[in-house]
Amino acid sequence: MLRRRALPFGGVAAALTEDDLTGISSDAISSDDPRPFIDQLVAAVDEDRLAEPDLASYALGLAADLADGLHDGELALTLSERSLEATRGLDDEHWTRARHAELLLRFGREDEGMRELHALRPQLTRDEMASLYVTEALTENGRAELAEEWLTSALTTAADIVERAGTGREADEVRAVENALAVKRFHVRRDLGLPHDEIDRIAEQLDEENPDHVFWPEKAHATLLEAQPDAAEELGATWDEHRAIIERDLQASDPTDLPYVEIGTPDLLTALLGDDEDAVPPPGPELEWPPGRNDPCWCGSGAKYKKCCLPRGRA
């Protein structure tokens, strides 16, 4: 069912905020037919009914994601191209371009997709986020080996820049990029089953921290709150709130210093609820984030990430 929007005097629809757009997308995901919601998002742009002009790219990007879910490549690419055009000169331009490249590759326009990614490749040594958005576009389309090659090359270049810069702001900024590249390269190489090298050993140390969050699967979350109701303030009163807290923190964090999220195990739950205060269960596995937009969501719901917890972090 479409969300009903309040109308001010005169009958003109209220301008849509980012939360409104996210709500429309969430409604679409849970509906049997997302096409009316796609039309609603596009109409908000075409009719200039957005609270801020910069939201046009976001609205069109959401619509492109919904069309992608319908496997309508022509519509998804048309909307994605409009989203890219709307974001030119804005902070999200490179991320939007990488998403467009990912769709081009997925729907068979490989030459165009790779041209877009080659244009973005220099950002790997300039933008801390580039190791995420460039790598995701490649790995989502079966090019993990190429991603590893690009990350390795970018690391060499970044190290040379740091050495020439010596000390100061420029060196610190590139060093942060270098760390992001090393950590992402470590994840890609691990997924490819490649043996650790010296860079991987350093990156693994950067990646290992005490958990900032413990993610509890749905049944464990309910059991924990039943036994310890006061924990709802920290963990979220519902499982949806619990997942949203974690996703928002991950999205808002520096990509070189992401929160360490441990997955709560039955042993950890037993230790928390038991009487033995000295019990120290082995740590649970670390939550891998972010998954690809079309991969199963990290929360274990079975839905795609882009249709499950990704929009929770934007709500």
| pLDDT higher than threshold 70 for residue 280 | no
% of the chain exceeding 90 in pLDDT: 50
| pLDDT higher than threshold 90 for residue 260 | no
| pLDDT higher than threshold 70 for residue 71 | yes
What is the model's pLDDT at position 166? 72
What is the model's pLDDT at position 11? 43
Confidence of residue 10 (pLDDT cuts 50, 70, 90): very low
Measured CA to CA, the distance from residue 185 to residue 199 in angstroms comes to 9
| The model scores a pTM over 0.75 | no
Terminal CA-CA length for the chain: 19
What is the model's pLDDT at position 279? 62
Taking alpha carbons only, the member of 64, 148, 144 closest to residue 99 is 64
| pLDDT higher than threshold 80 for residue 35 | yes
What is the model's pLDDT at position 26? 79
Say which DSSP state 32 is in: S
Q: In terms of DSSP H, where are the helices of the chain?
A: 18-29, 35-46, 55-69, 73-86, 93-106, 110-120, 130-139, 144-165, 169-192, 198-207, 218-227, 232-235, 239-252, 266-273, 309-314
What is the model's pLDDT at position 312? 83
> Are the beta carbons of 102 and 135 closer than 8 angstroms?
no
**How many CB atoms within 10 Å of residue 198?**
7
Confidence of residue 82 (pLDDT cuts 50, 70, 90): very high
Residue-averaged pLDDT of the chain: 87
What is the model's pLDDT at position 315? 57
pLDDT in tens, 158-208: 988 888 877 777 777 888 899 889 989 998 998 899 998 989 888 877 765
What is the model's pLDDT at position 202? 85
> Are the beta carbons of 96 and 83 closer than 8 angstroms?
yes
> What angle in degrees, to the nearest 10, is found between the helix axes of 110-120 and 130-139?
160
Q: Which two tokens stand for residue 34?
A: 């997302």
Asked whether the CA dihedral 227, 230, 232, 234 is positive or negative, the reply is negative
| pLDDT higher than threshold 60 for residue 232 | yes
Measured CA to CA, the distance from residue 71 to residue 159 in angstroms comes to 41
Residue type, 161: I
Average pLDDT over residues 147-166: 90
Average pLDDT over residues 237-248: 92
Say which DSSP state 280 is in: -
Average pLDDT over residues 109-138: 95
Measured CA to CA, the distance from residue 114 to residue 104 in angstroms comes to 9
Measured CA to CA, the distance from residue 199 to residue 40 in angstroms comes to 48
